[in-house]
Structure 1
């Protein structure tokens, strides 16, 4: 201020946006995790993700925007129970992540597009997308995510009447989860086995 550096003032918005964007995203994720724990929607979650996406877009940060857009879609699909509303956000997230070479975010976006396809009865398309998500996670060395994806494929196979394939996916999911100590996913495998077994 006292040195008359007007350039610093002009740059200040970008500097502050770069601080605020990840903070808004992190706060939104905390609220989402709390929702997953008790299934109670917290006010402000969607707005935090929307703010993060806006800031990342303003900064020209494609990977950051892709991440924030994924979470906007997730909020619509998972928290609000409106899968179709989340689809355009997942699609845009996937496209931005692909352009940036961010295969981890791609794997999340395409996974949830697969869930949307499954809910709409597009089972073959859902299988393709869930399989792509698993492949992406395998490529980047994300075994816990790979195992979670195999559980999703197991449920899908069971829903379409292919119990043998379903249990095959769950067997593989259990091995992968065990190899990396993913206890939560191991519990998902056990729960999936129980539920699919009861359907039979």
Structure 2
């Protein structure tokens, strides 16, 4: 089993401790740390961040934007006791999902299960050649797979890996990506999770 880290950001330390206990008791794949403010939250790198929305110094959205500035691919989950107000606020912010504190006991385990699948997906790599080097490319960063003049092209936005291949190699790459995409999309609720990147094969 792959293990992941979550940083809980909440100015109410006792409440954060309770959430940490619940996370680690409910799902063995996760270990949780606690931060009370943005300064601590930005010191380390975590697989996911669970932040309270309303805090005295910086809001969860402000902290989320600070984290995104350092790590654009960060997974940020916002939580609040102010359910209706919080949902309106989070609609304007690119959060992974929103967790109402009032429904913590009912929704925490499903959230962790969805989060684990998302993290497993992020950590899938395809090994490609770059000159004499072999590079592990995250599958979720591949925007498009194509063949141009018998060259296999993996388009990653700002980067493209191209090398000679036969049809069998191209088919294998395409089938792997499509298979992973189908598995992930069918196992994660679309309403709960926003996939930041799509993969298109042509």
TM-score (norm 2): 0.26
More helix by share: 1
Q: Taking CA–CA contacts closer than 8 Å with sequence separation of 6 or more, which of the two structures ends up with the larger relative contact order?
A: 2
More strand by share: 2
TM-score (norm 1): 0.26
